[in-house]
Structure 1
């Protein structure tokens, strides 16, 4: 086993995933697998050409055979897996419950909820064998999934799928004594998924930038411990703008 820390970042070809990948790749002693539906995306090709520790890999959310193949490739190349950042997801419909098609609920749940389970099940053996002794499964969630702090954005298909995945994070924490499992809210970020949500709610674009939130996301993962970090829903950082989507606490209420 190497002395490197081996990461898998899903949804890594754009937005927050690419931001996370770029920072991790620049760190010493890291190997980063960039999971993407299109591993030949120019963004990944450019970064892999610049950084030999970046390995683009075809990743299809909620595809059991593909997820198992991804983990097998990671084991073949790196021999270990220490941190998974489950970032890939979908947010594609906005409207009230009464008119949200059932197919939209199914699509969001299959990707955002079941996709999380498929990934963990495929990776669990290698991840739990991490030589660090403190493997991490970090789920990039959303503040919109909080039921205790409900935000009426008419995105029930998306938010409910993320809330269900948050429960999976709690279950993984409870079931695995050595695994650090945590959910992280990245704030409302100006990405290909965040901006349509903003427009649907009367804003020109989402209020936060990728470069502003990615360091906060990683701050929750870096140095995480079972006792202090696991089984919790972390805010990327407290925000105090006074807007409905601002959360001024370190943790997001479930």
Structure 2
């Protein structure tokens, strides 16, 4: 049986690294792990050495079209196709009330959180089409992106929330525009990472929210990814790592 070929962006730390680590121990998988600075991605290097031929580090910078195309060219040479792409790279670093938030912060979040997944999809689409099964394009989103739920959270995350809501729209559009594609926006949980720690430093009340470990998040994310199917009756979903479906 041919291996399942994955590409994970933002794989050098946090949730992305956790996903790569869990995929590496599975039988019949090949994982391409995207990192902006491969030479500094020491944890990924350890996994690549431990699982030779199964884990491959590729240079991948959000919105850098040349980087994305070069990474996909390497995947084409080594694997010839992609079965699952997880657009995990993202940014969340602005915690300012809406009346004070800077346009630069808005631009940065839209650049990384919306254009990044779009560039990744454009670069990887031909290899996804080469999949022998229904290819999957998974975008790591957030519950904060839910207009029905996330806008009611009393936390100042305008750049993050609006950019993730926009990438949800992108994900849904990809679903309908490409009938052979499984496209899902996925909330990974409130995960104990350096990004979450920084957010709590800026907004101490965030510390009241229970967190899950990277390992718990990665397990849940992969469970949802494994089970994801194309259902045109229900359409695209904003799913949570625990299997529940969140409102758009």
1:182–1:230 Cα contact (<8 Å) kept: no
C-alpha deviation, 1:198, in angstroms: 2.3
Cα deviations by residue, 1:121-168 (Å, 9 ceiling, x for unpaired): 111111122122x10000110111111012231010011111100000
TM-fit CA distance, 1:223: 2.9
Partner of 1:245: none
Q: How does 1:31-46 map to 2 (within 5 A)?
A: 31-40=30-39, 41-46=41-46
Query: Are 1:236 and 2:241 an aligned pair?
Result: yes
Q: Size of the alignment, in residue pairs?
A: 241
Which has the higher mean CA deviation after the structures are superposed, 71-80 or 219-228?
219-228
Deviation at 1:199, TM superposition (A): 2.6
Where does structure 1 lack aligned partners over 5 or more consecutive residues? 239-249
Mapped contact 1:141–1:185 kept (Cα < 8 A): yes
Partner of 1:222: 226
The equivalent of 2:64 in structure 1 is 63
TM-score, normalised via structure 1 length: 0.91
Equivalent positions of 1:138-153 (< 5 A) are 138-149=138-149, 150=151, 151-153=153-155
1:80-124 deviation line (CA, Å, top 9, x unaligned) = 111001100111111111111100000000000011111111111
- CA distance in 2 between counterparts of 1:77 and 1:210 reads 29
Aligned partners of 1:35 and 1:56 also within 8 Å: yes
What secondary structure does 1:219 align onto? helix
Change (3 A) 1:230 1:8: farther
Query: Secondary structure of the equivalent of 1:222?
Result: helix
State the superposition RMSD in angstroms: 1.6
Q: Which of 160, 163, 166 in structure 1 is aligned with 2:165?
A: 163
